[in-house]
Every structure is written in structure tokens, then in C-alpha cells.
Amino acid sequence: MTVDPGSITLWLHRLQSGDVDAAHQLWSRYYPKLVQTASKYLKGSTDPAIEGEDVAQSAFQSFYRSALAGEYLEVGNREELWKLLVIFAIKRIKRHRSTEECQVRPLVSTAAQDDDLSLADLRTPQAEAQMADLLEHLLNLLDREDPSGELRRIGVLYLEDQPPREIAKQLQRRTTTILQKLRLITILWEQCEEL
């Protein structure tokens, strides 16, 4: 069976072996359509910091890195490739929206920032309410990442000073799995701190 030199399957195989021309071929074929699709998903977004072009570029970067790493070898036709690119684009949009939502009110008022904070300052009803809001926001981030609620359970146990081995025992999971999930939780929460 001969493969058409313009076929997606051939370009995918060539891309996986590092062929730059194949990357250009896939880019020129799918980039405009992916920009349009991403722009539709972004409709109604009030954030000018992200546009369809940004999402499409990010999706292609993720796809190229994955393909070069030998992932997605089962992608064998244009429909599967298109679905994969759209998934990468949607993930990029979700990441942007979750970091956009990380903007929560400050933990302490600006007047309190000028003074030295003490533990007594953090025991006021206002500070306790802000801490509760912050905690709920951070846990909601975990729920959006993992609707099953497992990340939330792991996060709560960890905040209660449970060691990873104990969390693994309670949730009947491997310790390495818990450590990986804790790393993901840390990354998600650090994204909020950076804003």
C-alpha cells in the first residue's frame, strides 16, 4: 500500500522522527482552523491577554513536544489529529481561565500590611473569613482540575499535616501516586500565588 506524500499519516510519522518540514506542513494545514476554533471557545472572554492565536500556538507546541517524545503514536488520521489539537487548545484555555480566577482578595488589608502582623491579627473575624475564602478558592481549583474530588481530599489531608504515606494508606493508593498528586496540587496553588 502506497502512502500519499501529502497524507497526514506520513507527516505524523515524519514529525515523530524530528522532521521540521512535516511540522510546517501540519502547521499550515491546521493552524488557521485551530485559531478559529479557539477563538470561538474564547468568545465572551474579557481578558485581552489571550487570543485564538495564542491558544493555537500553545496547542501546537504541546503537540510537537509530545510527538517528539513518542507520545500519541496511535494518532493515525486527520480526524484523530484534529481532536488531539482541539484537546490541547481546550486545556490551554482552561489553564488560562483557572489562573485568571486565582485573583482572590488579599489575605490582609493594606492597613494591616503596613504594621507588623501578629497571630492576633489573623484571629480577627475578617481575617478568618478571608482565610476561609482563600481555602475554599484553592480547593475549588482542585475540583475543577479533578471533578472526582480526589485532589481535594488529598489537599485537605495534606493541609491537616498528614504525611504522604498516611494519605496513601487512608485513600488506598500508592505513595508515589499521592506524591505526584501533591506535586500537581502545589503547582496549581503556586499559580495563584504568582498572580
Q: What is each CA distance from 46 to 19, 24, 51, 61, 172, in whole angstroms?
A: 38, 32, 11, 25, 43
To the question of pTM greater than 0.95 for the whole model, the response is no
pLDDT of 128-154, one tens digit each?
A: 777 788 888 888 888 888 888 999 999
Average pLDDT of the segment spanning 72-78: 76
CB 58 within 8 A of CB 41: no
Domains for the chain: give ranges and CATH numbers.
8-100 (1.10.1740), 115-194 (no CATH)
Q: Which residues, including other chains, have CB under 8 Å from residue 91's CB and lie 6 or more apart?
A: 62
Asked if residue 67 lies in contact with residue 15, where contact means CB atoms within 8 angstroms, the answer is yes
Q: What is the pLDDT of residues 45-70, one digit of tens each?
A: 666 667 888 888 888 888 888 888 88
Give the DSSP letter string of 130-162.
Answer: HHHHHHHHHHHHHHHH-TTSHHHHHHHHHHTT-
The pLDDT assigned to 108 comes to 43
Burial 24-50 (b: 16+ CB within 10 A, else e): ebbeebbbeebbebbeebbeeeeeeeb
Span between the terminal Cα atoms of the chain, in Å: 54
